[in-house]
Amino acid sequence: MHYHLVLTQKCNLNCRYCGSTVEPTIMPVDLAYPLKELKSFLKNDEEPVIAFYGGEPAIAHSRIIDIMDEVPAKAFVIQTNGTLLKKIDREYIKRFHAILISVDGDTHRTNYYRGDNVYERAIEGANYARVSGFTGDLIARMTVSEKSVIFDDVVHLIERDNPKFDHVHWQLDVMWDYEPDRWDNILNWFDNNYNPGISKLVDYWIGSIENKGKIPGIVPFIGIMHTLLTEEKVGLRCGAGIDFFSVTTDGRVTFCPILPSVEFAVIGDINKDKPEDLVNKVSLDEPCLSCEERYVCGGRCLYTNKTKYWGDDGFNLVCDATKHLINELRRVLPRIKELIGDNVLTTDDFNYPDIENGVEIIP
């Protein structure tokens, strides 16, 4: 199973869509349980994948080193803004299976959302990983909000060098809270920016495959295409509450790294439960259960399925964008099948990730 370990609530940035809020009444600001408790909990899982999470986990770099030294795991992952990555010794950087760097597109877009010079510092951190000998999956982890231009931002990240990102994925800045003031006209943004940009990006993606015989690492496209090719029925793609859990700083377990103040989110405790006790404690509700795309989408997000902070209209707006993405990939499915028939590609080329690493296949 995959475990996000929240190491600290603290963050050195103050992004527009987050605010770097520290709430000590919800859970301790920093890790408050001894590692022996984590080891005891994880010994019941034969192949745990540990992902370091925050806040900004590199603030707790000494804890990262302690855990990597003391807690056995199949793989280690870190989700980081990249600006403090140099605090982690190179020998430990090399041990990561995947490093997810939060960067929202080009210099202008990232610095607008995240602060002055954050793009430059994040890229410096990504470069530090590579020169340290990290050979794993280097992933650009985007947040997409109203100032984003999905085509431009994804292409910038997928085509840049020094360092080269292996994969790019994004999460839409939607439905985590009540509709925020930062959105001026979300309906217009979906209709005239995001959805047309997805169509253009699919054309770019299939064109790149045809011209180079290589699949650009656009995570949502790869994951959905694999499902369309295999016709396998998928559940929640993030694995929330199935094989993906989060451990708070005081040892409680939630089905994903959301605030444990939400009552239904807390499903266990590392001192009271075994990993297998946590599976399927929370499940999807309507409208996802009856959706015609349920087994391709998987349900998108368990948290937003439960909360519906934007009401039915807002929920359906995001759902329609997901359906548009799926249908645009269906549009190029016949061409992908031709390339597989011509031995340019294989179905297994779309089987990503090899180990659950926290990427968003459904944005």
If we measure between CA atoms, which residue out of 240, 238, 245 comes closest to residue 38?
Answer: 245
- Find the DSSP H helices in 231-341: 294-297, 302-307, 311-341
Going from N- to C-terminal start, the domains of the chain cover: 2-350
Query: Which SS3 state, helix, strand or coil, does residue 351 take?
Result: coil
Q: Are strands 49-53 and 167-172 parallel, antiparallel or unpaired?
A: unpaired
- CATH of region 2-350, choose from 2.60.40.420, 3.30.460.80, 2.40.110.10, 3.20.20.70: 3.20.20.70
* Residue reference for tokens 């859990």: 245
Q: Which residues pair with 141 in a beta bridge?
A: 102, 169
Q: Would you mind telling me the total number of residues written for the chain in this entry?
A: 363
If we measure between CA atoms, which residue out of 84, 80, 87 comes closest to residue 103?
Answer: 80
* Angle in degrees, CA 337, 359, 234, rounded to 5: 55
CB of 237 closer than 8 Å to CB of 352: no
pLDDT tens-place values along the chain, 363 residues long: 999 999 999 999 999 888 677 889 899 999 999 999 999 999 999 999 999 999 999 999 999 999 999 999 999 999 999 999 999 999 999 999 999 999 999 999 999 999 999 999 999 999 999 999 999 999 999 999 999 999 999 999 999 999 999 999 999 999 988 766 778 999 999 999 999 999 999 999 999 999 999 999 999 999 999 999 999 999 999 999 999 999 999 999 999 887 777 888 999 999 999 999 999 999 999 999 999 999 999 999 999 999 999 999 999 999 999 999 999 999 999 999 999 999 999 999 999 999 999 999 999
CB of 313 closer than 8 Å to CB of 208: no
- Residue 182, phi then psi, degrees to nearest 5: -70, -15
pTM score > 0.75 for this model? yes
Task: Give kind and range of the element (H or E) at residue 111.
Answer: helix 107-114
Rg (CA), the chain: 20
If we measure between CA atoms, which residue out of 265, 266, 275 comes closest to residue 305?
Answer: 265
Q: Report the phi/psi class of residue 103: left, alpha or beta, with left for phi > 0 and alpha for psi in -120 to 50.
A: beta
